[in-house]
Amino acid sequence: MHNHYRVATLDSLIENVKIKINNPNYDSLYQRRLEDFLKNNIKKKYGNIPVVATIFLIEKYNKKGSNEISEENQWYYRNKEFANSFEELLRSITKSKMYSLISIEYYSGYHILIVGEPDGLSFEGKMNNKAKLYEIKSFNITEFYTKFSSKFKDYLLIRKVLNMIKENSSQLILYQYLLERTQEFGLIGEIEKINSYGEIYIYSDSKEYLSWARKIIEQNLNIITKYARRYNAYNLSLKDGGTININNKKMYYFKIDFRVKYNQKTVEKYLKNLNELIKSLKSVDNRNL
């Protein structure tokens, strides 16, 4: 998800959590516990500390310090309505909910709260001690197909799929870290096992464009799988999709599924960006964030 894209404050996060209590996509009981915990524990201990989203840490690293929104997020905002529909489809299939997961980090004398919201989180087992994290990406192949020349189209499609796998995997790894930290705060019961699942939905109103995309991905699936391992993504598979109607517009889609393996070094890599953020915050009053 793309909430809290840049730097906020604890007060704004508390307000945001409160609003989401009545949102059916969220676990309302958990959001209430979190609101109380943030107000009566975290704020009393640390004050109105800065809040940073996991997606911002990822963007900060990948853009080497730039605050520019990545191309992936530009695609997301242009097609947000479709992205939301696929996220809701995912939650209905997996019977999962959204949770605002948190961690408190301490760098250079500053406490910073990290927040992240996976597209879906479910608990299974007799004791609800097995967690499944879900994160999806989606993009409109029609927009992609008409944007680029045919000379490089195949290569650019493969590169785009790999970039989406990379960002998806990075988010899931950070979400697992936050889930474990959230559990340590006592906001979630004991978890014995966490599995992370990534999905990429490729859609179009044109069967022709979608068929082209599937053919190219199928032909290069071994290459995509090989490079995806560098991003801790495994067990890639191409799955048949179907149709989805959004505002009376029929869209065809298929998807790529994969598993993501937790990697602590990936977490440490992104958390290092907090040092840069702290430097920029030292000259900024929290009220203006």
Q: Which residue has the higher pLDDT, 182 or 63?
A: 182
Is 1 part of a structural domain of the chain? no
State both tokens at 264: 């602590």
Give the count of domains, the chain: 1
Report d(CA 262, CA 253) in Å as an integer: 29
Q: Which pLDDT does position 77 carry in this prediction?
A: 55
Closest CA to 259 of 173, 175, 196, 167: 196
Is 2 part of a structural domain of the chain? no
**Average pLDDT in the 64-71 region?**
46
Report d(CA 270, CA 286) in Å as an integer: 23
Q: Which residue has the higher pLDDT, 64 or 158?
A: 158
Report d(CA 284, CA 289) in Å as an integer: 7
Q: Which residue has the higher pLDDT, 138 or 128?
A: 138
Residue 15: domain span:
7-288
pLDDT (tens digit per residue) in 226-238: 999 999 999 999 9
Q: Residue 239 pLDDT > 70, yes or no?
A: yes
Q: What is the dihedral of CA 264, 268, 269, 270, to 10 degrees?
A: 110
Closest CA to 157 of 173, 170, 139, 171: 139
Closest CA to 54 of 98, 121, 96, 1: 1
**Average pLDDT in the 63-92 region?**
69
Q: Which pLDDT does position 8 carry in this prediction?
A: 86
DSSP string, 15-61: HHHHHHTT-TTB-HHHHHHHHHHIIIIIHHHH-S-EEEEHHHHHHHH
pLDDT (tens digit per residue) in 186-209: 999 999 999 999 999 999 999 999
Name the residue with tokens 């599937």.
214
Q: Which residue has the higher pLDDT, 79 or 283?
A: 79
Q: Which residue has the higher pLDDT, 195 or 127?
A: 195
Is 24 part of a structural domain of the chain? yes
Give the model's confidence band at 82: pLDDT under 50 very low, under 70 low, under 90 confident, else very high: confident
Is 233 part of a structural domain of the chain? yes
Q: Which pLDDT does position 3 carry in this prediction?
A: 42
Is 254 part of a structural domain of the chain? yes
Q: Which pLDDT does position 78 carry in this prediction?
A: 61
Q: Which pLDDT does position 74 carry in this prediction?
A: 56
**Average pLDDT in the 234-243 region?**
93
**Beta-sheet strands, E only, within 153-223:** 193-204
Q: Residue 163 pLDDT > 90, yes or no?
A: yes
To the nearest whole percent, how much of the chain has pLDDT over 70? 87
By the 10 Å C-beta count (0-12 exposed, 13-18 middle, 19+ buried), 183 is classed as: middle
Is 46 part of a structural domain of the chain? yes
Name the residue with tokens 């793309």.
2
- Taking all residues of the chain, what is their mean pLDDT, rounded to a whole number? 87
Report d(CA 165, CA 283) in Å as an integer: 36
Q: Which pLDDT does position 72 carry in this prediction?
A: 54
Report d(CA 45, CA 120) in Å as an integer: 30
**Average pLDDT in the 171-178 region?**
98
pLDDT (tens digit per residue) in 85-116: 999 999 999 999 999 999 999 887 889 999 99
Is 64 part of a structural domain of the chain? yes
